[in-house]
Structure 1
Amino acid sequence: MNSRKEKSKSERHKDIAGKFGEYFVLYYLSKNNFECVKFDYVGIDLFAQHNEDESEKWGISVKLFNTQNQTKGILKNTITKAESSCKKFGWKPYIAMVFDRENEIDIFLCPTYVLREDGFLHMSKTKYRWSFREEYWKKYKKHKDVHFLSFKLDKIKWFSPNTPNGN
């Protein structure tokens, strides 16, 4: 049993957080010279094409994780679906993993083949397992094909737990 008490959230938080992850990845790609769009197809959430290299067409599956636990898993079937759909369109399959940590949000974006590289992630029968231990994060960030973005959430003045107006 987890000894940390989880903060109360909206009943729709999971859906809202997932959409936030997708749109933040879209924002970042757009800011970095990609034409991109929300795309609803089996295993693919986003499509992106680089403006200076039209051969760079990506189908991206976005997964958002709350990091209360030490490991998170991505179903192998999720990757298979994304790769199969991308093959139909002639796109490169990518995965964007958005991690909602207590006071920061981290995003890893990489081609799906990176997940299968020997020693990159732990694998079970059904999942690719992502560890949150610091030594693993250093390894993930150093990989030549992994794009990494992080931003801090600083509360200057925000809602207190019992008062909607924050006072």
Structure 2
Amino acid sequence: MKKSTRHSKITGDFAEALILYWLSKHGYECACVDHTGIDLIARDPASQKVMGISVKSRSRYDGTEKMSVNLPPDGFEKARRACDAFGCVPYYAIVVDGGEVIRGFLVSLIRLLEVAGGNQNGMRYWLMADRNMAAYQTDPLVQQFELHTAACSWRDKIEVRETARK
């Protein structure tokens, strides 16, 4: 499947909206922000903690779903600075669309740096292998969800209708 030339931008916008939706659905007061380092601000309904969330997303081709999400170190510092300015705790949300599932993760920056692979002061990697998925599932500090998609034939039906009109 060939993706559109704007698919990376669309994926990022979708991921931000999806995380915002998921937080709102679970009682968080939240909003999109246009600020270097963070994309969303949310207040946890249980603890009243205010989170500054940097959203990272990837759209994977079939067979590449287990590739890690690369997290450059400059993003961590940008998130920290933005959160200092707004008096919130830095968090990362990671959304990966791959195969027939969209996975979303929400984790504090502190916990992310503890569990992500890579170098302490260099590139970090949110690992997506089966063993990592199992570890995230049992980690109480990693919130996550999965949306399962099903194959549809909307495109095929459009092509059939257009052919029938000719």
Say yes or no: TM over 0.5.
yes
Give the aligned residue type for 1:42. T
**Equivalent residue, structure 2, for 1:3:** none
Question: How far has the Cα of 1:43 moved from its partner?
Answer: 0.5
In 2: Cα distance, 1:36 partner to 1:97 partner: 17
**Equivalent residue, structure 1, for 2:151:** 155
Question: How far has the Cα of 1:139 moved from its partner?
Answer: 0.8
- Which is bigger in relative contact order (C-alpha 8 A, separation at least 6)? 2
Considering fraction of residues, name the structure with more helix. Answer: 2
> Which shows bigger deviation, 108-117 or 151-160?
151-160
Q: Would you say the 8 A contact 1:96–1:110 is kept in 2?
A: yes
Secondary structure class of the residue paired with 1:154: coil
Q: Would you say the 8 A contact 1:76–1:127 is kept in 2?
A: yes
Residues 137, 161 of structure 1: alpha-carbon distance in 2 compared, 3 angstrom cutoff = farther
Matched, 1:131 2:127: yes
Trace 1:67-82 onto structure 2 (pairs within 5 A).
Answer: 67=60, 68=64, 70-82=67-79
Which of 58, 63, 82 in structure 1 is aligned with 2:56?
63
Moved over 4 A (4+): 164-167
What is the root-mean-square deviation of aligned Cα atoms in Å?
Answer: 2.2
Secondary structure class of the residue paired with 2:155: coil
Residues 83, 160 of structure 1: alpha-carbon distance in 2 compared, 3 angstrom cutoff = same
In structure 2, the gaps of 5 or more residues are: none
Secondary structure class of the residue paired with 1:163: helix
In 2: Cα distance, 1:165 partner to 1:105 partner: 30
Question: How far has the Cα of 1:71 moved from its partner?
Answer: 2.3
Residues 82, 152 of structure 1: alpha-carbon distance in 2 compared, 3 angstrom cutoff = same
Question: How far has the Cα of 1:163 moved from its partner?
Answer: 2.9
Identity of aligned residues (%): 28
Could you state the TM-score of these two structures normalised by the residue count of structure 2? 0.85
**Equivalent residue, structure 2, for 1:145:** 141
Question: How far has the Cα of 1:88 moved from its partner?
Answer: 1.8
**Equivalent residue, structure 2, for 1:14:** 8
Q: Would you say the 8 A contact 1:121–1:129 is kept in 2?
A: yes
Q: Would you say the 8 A contact 1:157–1:166 is kept in 2?
A: no
In 2: Cα distance, 1:90 partner to 1:48 partner: 12
Which of 87, 91, 99 in structure 1 is aligned with 2:88?
91
Q: Would you say the 8 A contact 1:107–1:148 is kept in 2?
A: yes
Q: Would you say the 8 A contact 1:159–1:165 is kept in 2?
A: no
Q: How many residues align?
A: 158
**Equivalent residue, structure 2, for 1:44:** 38
Residues 132, 52 of structure 1: alpha-carbon distance in 2 compared, 3 angstrom cutoff = closer
Give the aligned residue type for 2:77. T
